[in-house]
Amino acid sequence: MNTFFTAFLDNLPQVLSGLGVTAESTVLGALVAGVLAFVLGLMAGHRNIVVRGVSRTVVEFFRGTSLYVQLFWLYFALPLLTGYQLSALFCGVVAFGLNFGAYGSEVVRGGISAVPRAQWEAAVALNLSPYQRMRRVILPQALAQMIPSFTNLLIQLLKATPLLWLISAADLMTVIQQLRDRTGESLVAYLTLLVFYFVLAYVLTLLMNLLERAAKARLGEHTGTRGLLRSRSAAAAESVPVVPGGAS
């Protein structure tokens, strides 16, 4: 154990650099996924059947194929077609964005569909344009319902970043793995990784809880500070109604 932590401290700049690569791939992947999720989610509700069909095809393809294979295809196969070798980080960001963006599009579609029909009718009665209806009435309400699901997807994206190790990206997993190979301390090395990813995931959860609180405050729904520390599963459990007398 002492051997591993000695090597850890001696290589602290490399560890911090790997942590930065992990954070960068998570943030950039989430941004790409978020943009793609809203584009595909809005396309899924379009009146034109062709637009809906394109959205459904893209979503089903990236949901139905392995992230592992998508990452390998971008890094190893795509250069054979284009003649250009892409960086490992770039391939990771694109793969994460496409894969999780496809899943996120269903969150967007579901959140928009969950807005009560009366809200749509009220927006039409106010003579708002389709763009104004979506931006000023529908999306603010839908976004508050989307955030818990987006939080789960963001945590899943973070936990997928160790795949970058397979394409030689210098992320946190790669650095700790190198220290493990050098010291032979597998137990301590992987326990350290667990702690790192747990802390990162919890920080992201707190940030998303703050975002959810702000989104609800815009709708006049004020939540206490206790809600910031809730996990997604706890929040979901509290939202399940209790039926008196149990199930019949």
Q: How far apart are the first and last CA of the chain?
A: 57
Higher pLDDT, 232 or 222: 222
Contact residues for 168 (Cβ-Cβ < 8 A; gap 6+): 88, 174
CA distance 53 to 40: 10
Domain residue ranges of the chain, discontinuous segments joined by +? 2-238
Q: What is the pTM of this model?
A: 0.84
Q: What percent of the chain has pLDDT over 70?
A: 89
Instruction: Give residue 220's identity as a one-letter amino acid code.
Output: G
CA distance 123 to 71: 43
Q: Which of 1, 29, 13 is nearest to 175 (CA)?
A: 13
- Summarize the confidence of residues 222-234 as an average pLDDT: 59
Give the pLDDT of residue 227.
57
The torsion defined by the Cα of 102, 104, 108 and 111, in degrees rounded to 10, comes to 130
- Summarize the confidence of residues 25-31 as an average pLDDT: 96
Q: Which of 166, 162, 151, 171 is nearest to 103 (CA)?
A: 151
- Summarize the confidence of residues 87-111 as an average pLDDT: 94
CA distance 142 to 116: 10
Quote the distance between the C-alpha of residue 217 and its chain's center: 23
Contact residues for 87 (Cβ-Cβ < 8 A; gap 6+): none
Confidence label for 246 from pLDDT (cuts 50, 70 and 90): very low
Per residue in 85-96, pLDDT tens? 889 999 999 999
What topology does CATH give the domain 2-238? Answer: MetI-like fold (1.10.3720)
Q: Which of 85, 44, 84, 83 is nearest to 63 (CA)?
A: 44
